[in-house]
Amino acid sequence: MKKWTLRGLILIVILAAGTYVTVLFLHSLSHESTDDAYVSGTIVPIAAEVKGRVGKVLVRDNQYVTAGTPLLEIIQDDYRSLLQERSEAVSRLRAEDREIRASVEEKRRLFVQSQANHEAAAAEEGLGLKELKRYDRLLKKEAVSYSQFDNVESRWKVARARKEAAAGLRHAAASLESSV
């Protein structure tokens, strides 16, 4: 009986050792173990091209993916509202651009008009000066009255004042033109 007990005990030890070794072997197939080692591998950072809330994840854990494979879907509501806001801003800016262009065109028209007014006033003043000189010679010869001379002199002074006023408008229009 001692013999069978010893054989049973040895069999139990062999079975226990075999089970233990089998468990260790199976564990070593899926797990690495070392006292002095490091893990080398390729770490690939993933960066989003756009910000947003994730609506759906399209890959599973540890799934192999290739370049260009979509990983997730982003909820587009935020982007739709942002697109609408930007579209409205563009529309406003286009309207402002049209207003500014119309204003610039109006200022150019006013500039041309003030330039024409200045030229007309200068011509009027030149004619008045010539007439004043003629009447001055005629007054010295006593061919015209003082009243007629005063009338011509008055018209020349009015023409000169119009020319100066037109020159002021022309300078103001030119400064507006340069500011545009």
68-71 long-range contacts, CB within 8 A, separation 24+: 71/46
Q: What mean pLDDT value characterizes the chain?
A: 86
Name the CATH topology of 92-179.
Helix Hairpins (1.10.287)
Rg (CA), the chain: 51
Residue 131's Cβ-count burial label (10 Å; 0-12, 13-18, 19+) is: middle
pLDDT in tens, 150-161: 898 998 899 888
Residue 180 has pLDDT above 60, yes or no: no
**Is the pLDDT reported for residue 49 higher than 90?**
no
| Domain limits, the chain | 92-179
* Residue 74 three-state SS: strand
What is the rounded average pLDDT of the residues 46-64? 83
The residues, ordered by sequence, that sit 6+ positions from 158 with a Cβ below 8 Å of its Cβ are 128
* Banded pLDDT at 13 (limits 50, 70, 90): very high
pTM for this model (two decimals): 0.47
At 170 the pLDDT is 65
Q: When comparing pLDDT for 15 and 3, which is higher?
A: 15
Per-residue pLDDT at 116: 87
| Residues facing 72 on adjacent strands | 57
Name which of 34, 57, 31 is nearest 46 in CA terms: 57
Determine contact, residues 85/137, Cβ cutoff 8 Å: no
The residues, ordered by sequence, that sit 6+ positions from 177 with a Cβ below 8 Å of its Cβ are: 107, 108, 111
pLDDT band at 107 (very low <50, low <70, confident <90, very high): confident
Please tell me the predicted confidence (pLDDT) of residue 175: 66
Does position 55 have pLDDT exceeding 90, yes or no? no
**In the predicted model, what is the mean pLDDT of residues 124-151?**
88
